[in-house]
Amino acid sequence: MRLVVDLNRCQGYAQCAFLGPDVFRLHGEESLLYDPVVGAEKRDQVLAAAAACPVGAILVDGPGVREVDAVVG
Amino acid sequence: MTAPETMMRRIADPAARPDPYPLYEELRRTPVARQDDGVYTVSTYWEIRSLLNDPRVSSQTRPPLVPTPSGARSMLRLDPAEHDRVRRIVTRPFGPPHTPRRVFEMRRGMADTVRGLLDAFADKDQADIVDDFAYPFPISVICRLFGVPVEDEPRFHLWTESLLGAADFGAEHKPDPHLLDPDAAKIEMGGYLAELFDKHRKDPGDDMFSALAVDDGPDGRLTPPEQVATGFLLLIAGHETTVNLITNGVLTLLRHPQELKRLKDDPDLAVPMIEELLRYEPPVQYLPNRRTMDAVEVAGTVIPKDTDVNLMLAAGNRDPRRFPDADRFVPDRGDVEHLGFGNGVHYCFGAPLARLETRIALTEFARRVKGPELVADPPPYRVNPVLRGPRHLPVAYRGVRS
């Protein structure tokens, strides 16, 4: 599955790095690193992170993703 | 119709506890309203969100509703930059960037605890979701995480209840005769926490309170009074909020049986459902701890300098200008940027923990408990209008799947 984090929206709440630590990592206090393409085994982490983001900055596309989350074309 | 001036008192009235939402709807008609005691309420989504991110609104200057058991303040009652220093230190043993996997790796332990609690449902045909499930679960999680002996739980439960029970929300209610005098509770709990941190200082484990007692990061260490204030905040927050989120979740699912069935068939639904739950029935209904440091104009109204402001999160979460069909529980609504965990620098510290706990609790409840039904609707509620939730939630069922 593919994901994009809108880094203009990201405010550093770090919910993604808590709930998807194999996909999202904080470097220092504020800068976020993430894998833009992840395997099915990390799907749960990606979906949990996207749902938890307080500013809706994580966009996800892939098989089985609920229509409302599939924003990436 | 009653004027908005008396709204906070009507919301605090225990009779309003089962369903405060019509009052919030009334409140939203005046998004920024001055109450008769001079407190301003802000009840619409964008206005609340903007004030949560406004540096002119302080969390530090308003006298606290709940007395704290040490000379120091917790981060809940600090403004930047002091707040940011304390929050960084407390985050260090809890989450990223320093400890990114700690919460995530607690999932297995959480699942074991939930399994044990639901196994015990098998011996009977009715359970109290609060006492038998939603309360013991987060308690066991935070005891492990913080390094608090689980056998001390009844003591700090009594202290936190006594301190919260003493908070004056402006409505009359009978004091609970089982509770302690708040000053006594404060002294006992402060002494207990100071001793606990002392013990961890001498013999640190791999828990969070030990880390706070001995570790030095780039920001140094909390002073002993700051440690006590932090321990107090985390214990209350870990005690009084997740229990309500889980209980509100079970209650909401039992009021929407078709959604309970969907969750049973599709456990992935829990992830968006919990966000919707935080919008629809937030465990923290409003923030009674803000005060302006300057005149602040919001929605065409000027809130004067040095004015107490109540940010009505639960009202903003049902603001129809923000959420279509705001009074409906829609577990997979795509756009659910709720205020349930707040926003801005004071965003709920334990949010990731609460999300994981509630996900596991609700999916396992839906999967395992057969034919659950509410015994009473509405259930009896606790008195506190801020940390709102049922006191008990009796549920009848026809067995438990393994």
Domains in chain B: ranges and CATH = 4-396 (1.10.630.10)
pLDDT in tens, B190-212: 999 999 999 999 999 999 999 99
Q: Are B84 and B109 in contact (CB under 8 A)?
A: no
| B96 lies within 8 A of chain A by CB | yes
Calculate the alpha carbon distances from B243 to A49, B79, B237, B393 in Å.
Answer: 22, 28, 10, 11
Confidence of residue B172 (pLDDT cuts 50, 70, 90): low
Asked if B352 and A13 come within 8 Å (Cβ–Cβ), the reply is: no
Answer whether B95 sits within 8 Å of A55, measured CB to CB.
no
Q: Is the pLDDT of residue B55 over 90?
A: yes
Matching residue, tokens 């919030």: B24
Count Cβ–Cβ pairs < 8 Å, chain A vs chain B: 65
Which residue type is seen at A60? V
Task: Note whether B97 contacts A54, CB cutoff 8 Å.
Answer: no
Give the residue on A whose Cα is nearest the Cα of B278: A52
Flag whether residue B218 sits within 8 Å of chain A, measured between CB atoms: no
- Name beta bridge partners: B217: B220
Strand partners of residue B57 = B292
Contact residues, chain A to chain B, C-beta under 8 Å: 13-15, 17-19, 21, 25-29, 44, 47-48, 51-52, 54-56, 66-69
Judged by CB atoms closer than 8 Å, whether chains meet at A18 and B341 is answered as no
Residue B308 reports pLDDT greater than 50: yes
- The mean pLDDT of B272-292, rounded to a whole number, is 98
Q: What does the DSSP assignment read for B155-179?
A: HHHHHHHHHHHT---SS--PPPTTS
pLDDT band at B67, cuts 50/70/90? Answer: confident
Burial zone of A39 (CB within 10 Å; 0-12 exposed, 13-18 middle, 19+ buried): exposed
> What are the tens digits of pLDDT across the range B93-150?
999 999 999 999 999 999 999 999 999 999 999 999 999 999 999 999 999 999 999 9
CA distance B117 to B397: 15
The residue in chain A having the minimum alpha-carbon distance to the alpha carbon of residue B92 is A29
Cα–Cα dist B43/B17, whole Å = 17
Please judge whether A52 and B355 are an interchain contact, meaning their C-beta atoms are less than 8 angstroms apart: yes
CA distance B344 to chain A (A): 9
Cβ pair A18:B96 closer than 8 A:
yes
Q: How far apart are CA A52 and CA B352, in angstroms?
A: 8
Closest-CA distance, B45 to chain A, in angstroms, reads 14
Q: How close, in Å, is residue B113 to chain A by CA atoms?
A: 20
Q: What amino acid is encoded at B45 in this protein?
A: Y
**C-alpha B142 chain-centroid distance:** 14
Residue B356 touches partner A, C-beta closer than 8 Å = yes
Instruction: State whether residue B88 sits within 8 Å of chain A by CB.
Output: yes
Comparing CB atoms, the residue among B97, B337, B356 nearest residue A54 is B337
Give all domains of chain A, ordered by start, each with its CATH number: 2-69 (3.30.70.20)
In sequence order, what are the residues at sequence separation of 6 or more whose Cβ sits closer than 8 angstroms to the Cβ of residue B278? B245, B317, B338, B340, B341
B31 vs B41: CA distance, rounded Å? 8
Cβ pair A54, A11 in contact under 8 A: yes
Residue B334: list chain A partners with CB under 8 A: 66-69
Strands B308-311 and B40-42: parallel
CB contact under 8 A, A52 and B351: yes
Residue A68: pLDDT band (50, 70, 90) is: very low
Pairwise CA distance, residues B207 & B148, whole Å: 9
pLDDT at B304 over 80: yes
Secondary structure element (H or E) that encloses residue B257, with its range? helix B257-265
∠ CA B40-B42-B43 to the nearest 5 degrees? Answer: 140
How many Cβ atoms from other residues are within 10 Å of residue B305's Cβ? 12
Pairing of strands B32-34, B57-58: unpaired
Q: Is the pLDDT of residue A17 over 70?
A: yes
Q: B192, B134, B128, B200: which is closest to B158 by C-alpha?
A: B192
Whose CA is closest to B372, among B348, B400, B349?
B400
